[in-house]
Copies of this chain bind each other. A is one copy, B any other.
């Protein structure tokens, strides 16, 4: 706790390290699992410094939610550069394909975060509003661009539910192949929906 340069609580990177460490440990061991002390140790930040950034454990969990939300927005922004709605949606499902080993080991980082936080608070949570809402809104916009105006929200829900359900089963069975085969099935479904009678121009 001495005010040396090395131990300054406001040293650059400490807050980021704490949030990254919390995000990883909450994913691996559950939102209610790791203590602040364990998170601080994994981040190589003295426990006394943690309170400089986060007054309570809940505040740190809130910062993890914000961090996951930023990752989602950044991903969706990069997918927007793809040329067609189907290509954009398949870019989204690809993220679960690429992380299938991690999902089989610990579940979907955002799905389990929202699910577990839902057990500690009533009603729709901040986690869902900041994480699932952008995913659903963005997917809905892709299906609307395909021409599925009225059905776009339902199709978006079906897609995100499909990915989340595959993650739940894949983690329960400890089997990444389950995640991968369900993503491939969803990709075929996206192509079918893009070419279906409801879509513009067909």
**When the two chains form their complex, are residues B119 and A115 in contact, meaning their CB atoms are under 8 A apart?**
no
Interface SS, A side: helix
The yes or no answer to A149 lying at the interface (CB within 8 A) is no
Interface flags, A101-118, vs B, CB<8A=1, else 0: 000011100011011101
**When the two chains form their complex, are residues B128 and A173 in contact, meaning their CB atoms are under 8 A apart?**
yes
**When the two chains form their complex, are residues A162 and B160 in contact, meaning their CB atoms are under 8 A apart?**
no
The yes or no answer to A165 lying at the interface (CB within 8 A) is yes
The size of the chain A interface, using a CB distance under 8 A, is 47
The yes or no answer to A12 lying at the interface (CB within 8 A) is no
Contact of A168 among B122, B158, B164, B174 (CB under 8 A): B164
Complex: A80 Cα to B93 Cα, angstroms: 36
| Further pairs besides A125-B172, A163-B165, A164-B165: 5, Cβ < 8 Å | A30-B30, A32-B33, A107-B115, A125-B174, A161-B165
A interface residues with partner B (beta carbon < 8 Å) = 28-33, 105-107, 111-112, 114-116, 118-120, 122-125, 127-128, 132, 136, 154, 157-158, 160-169, 171-175, 178, 181-182, 185
Can you list 26 pairs linking A and B with CB atoms under 8 Å apart? Answer: A28-B119, A29-B119, A30-B30, A30-B32, A33-B119, A33-B120, A107-B115, A111-B168, A114-B168, A115-B115, A116-B116, A118-B172, A124-B173, A124-B174, A125-B172, A125-B174, A157-B178, A157-B182, A160-B169, A161-B165, A162-B165, A164-B165, A164-B168, A165-B165, A165-B166, A168-B168
